[in-house]
């Protein structure tokens, strides 16, 4: 009841402020439900960017992590972009500081710079391309077919995966996602012995040993689609637990098991859950309009630079 009241008051405030919630699949179920009930979106970072750009609301409330808020601000500088907390960051973003990254790029001037969406505005501004995991393979193939060599940042597992799949000449920055990096091939193999019929769906931020066991490797959107469309009834999922909200909604008659992480034993309800995504709570959403410290600002010059590879991403994905 309290949750319903909180959601109703957030909904009323959103209407009063001409605001809409743009939420990521990895946020808590009640956040995703709120976004849906109030006309917002629940999706991956690519669709979040598109939705925020196309929606007529003058304020975007981004329930995700900071790079998603920054991307929204870069694409729509005239809109106010708020987040439940600006402390919600990402290990990939933190692990790729712009000064070091820029120096790395300078050492490899012959390479096309491709960065993952999970980066700061300043890192995007240094890039030729921005990609999300849903278009990573296609962009690498596109560049490779033009004979281009690639500098890939910041996720090394995704970069290695893209290299193996496309044969592109890829040099990777050594970053990783603290959530996906914890999935264990051994634990998945053990779980497969208990449920031999289970299909393994894995996100490419996972280590190679995990991807080798996967029946399908794909972005969050691709994982949800596979779970819905495949005839199988049981799935082992190697990505953030938050995705279970959509999986259960889109495939209610199927069973989903989280892939084991270090020490989890395969039945863990709190593991495989991004600590920064978890900072998006109904309580912080309820006060999102009242605080002085949670609006996203991006230096306009940096934003303009970052807009170039971001537009390229959106046009390529269109
Ligand atoms: O791991 C993430 O943060 C993902 C999958 C972001 C995205 O592209 O939706
Ligand atoms: Fe970053 Fe991983 Fe969290 Fe996604 S799940 S925001 S990649 S730390």
- Per the domain annotation, does 310 fall within a domain? no
The ligand minimizing its distance to the Cα of 276 is: 2
Tell me which residue has its CA closest to atom 1 in ligand 2: 90
Q: What is the mean pLDDT of residues 227-231?
A: 98
- Per the domain annotation, does 46 fall within a domain? yes
Q: What range defines the domain where residue 204 resides?
A: 180-273
The ligand minimizing its distance to the Cα of 317 is: 1
Q: How many domains does the chain have?
A: 3
Query: Which positions ≥6 away from 301 have C-beta within 8 Å?
Result: none
- Tell me whether 0.90 is exceeded by the ipTM: yes
Same domain, 99 and 76: no
> How many whole angstroms from 16 Cα to the centroid of ligand 2?
32
Same domain, 184 and 269: yes
- Per the domain annotation, does 66 fall within a domain? yes
Q: Which of 172, 205, 224 is the last residue of a domain?
A: 172
Tell me which residue has its CA closest to atom 3 in ligand 1: 118
Task: Specify the CATH number for the domain of residue 246.
Answer: 3.40.50.10800
Strands 216-217 and 199-202: parallel
Tell me what pLDDT residue 267 has. 54
- Per the domain annotation, does 263 fall within a domain? yes
The ligand minimizing its distance to the Cα of 219 is: 1
- Per the domain annotation, does 305 fall within a domain? no
State the Rg of the chain over Cα.
19
Tell me which residue has its CA closest to atom 8 in ligand 2: 90
Instruction: Indicate which atom in ligand 1 lies nearest the CA of residue 133.
Output: 8
Task: Find the range with the poorest average confidence among 57-66, 121-130, 264-273.
Answer: 264-273
State pLDDT tens for residues 154-166.
999 999 999 999 9
Tell me what pLDDT residue 141 has. 97
Same domain, 168 and 218: no
pLDDT category at 18 given cuts 50, 70, 90 is: very high
Same domain, 189 and 269: yes
- Per the domain annotation, does 232 fall within a domain? yes
- Per the domain annotation, does 135 fall within a domain? yes
Same domain, 269 and 191: yes
Tell me what pLDDT residue 318 has. 83
Q: Is the CB of 177 under 6 A from ligand 2?
A: yes
pLDDT category at 265 given cuts 50, 70, 90 is: low
Tell me what pLDDT residue 262 has. 75
- Per the domain annotation, does 221 fall within a domain? yes
On the 0-12 / 13-18 / 19+ scale of CB atoms within 10 A, 231 is exposed
Average pLDDT, whole number, for the chain? Answer: 96
| Dist CA 316 CA 46 (whole Å) | 11
* Residue 286 three-state SS: helix
Tell me which residue has its CA closest to atom 8 in ligand 1: 45
């Amino acid at each position: 009841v309290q949750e319903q009241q909180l959601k109703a008051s957030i909904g009323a405030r959103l209407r009063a402020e001409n605001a809409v919630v743009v939420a990521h699949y990895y946020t808590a179920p009640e956040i995703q439900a709120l976004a849906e009930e109030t006309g917002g979106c629940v999706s991956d970072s690519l669709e979040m960017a598109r939705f925020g750009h196309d929606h007529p609301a003058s304020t975007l409330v981004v329930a995700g992590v900071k790079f998603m808020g920054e991307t929204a601000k870069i694409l729509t500088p005239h809109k106010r972009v708020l987040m439940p907390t600006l402390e919600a960051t990402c290990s990939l973003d933190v692990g790729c500081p712009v000064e070091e990254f820029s120096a790395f790029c300078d050492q490899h001037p012959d390479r096309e710079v491709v960065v993952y969406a999970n980066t700061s505005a300043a890192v995007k501004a240094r890039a030729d391309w921005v990609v999300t995991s849903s278009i990573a393979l296609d962009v690498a193939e596109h560049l490779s077919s033009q004979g281009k060599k690639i500098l890939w940042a910041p996720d090394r597992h995704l970069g290695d995966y893209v290299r193996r799949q496309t044969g592109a000449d890829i040099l990777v920055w050594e970053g990783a996602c603290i959530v996906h990096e914890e999935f264990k091939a051994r634990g998945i193999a053990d779980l497969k012995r208990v449920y031999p019929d289970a299909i393994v769906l894995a996100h490419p931020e996972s280590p190679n040993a995990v991807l080798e066991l996967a029946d399908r490797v794909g972005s969050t959107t691709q994982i949800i689609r596979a779970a819905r469309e495949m005839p199988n009834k049981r799935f082992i999922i190697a990505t953030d637990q938050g995705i279970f909200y959509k999986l259960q909604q889109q495939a209610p008659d199927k069973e989903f098991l989280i892939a084991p992480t270090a020490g989890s034993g395969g039945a863990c309800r709190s593991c495989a859950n991004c600590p920064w995504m978890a900072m998006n709570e109904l309580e912080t959403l309820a006060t999102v309009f009242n605080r002085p410290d949670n609006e996203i600002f991006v230096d306009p010059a940096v934003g303009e630079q970052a807009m170039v590879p971001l537009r390229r991403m959106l046009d390529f994905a269109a």
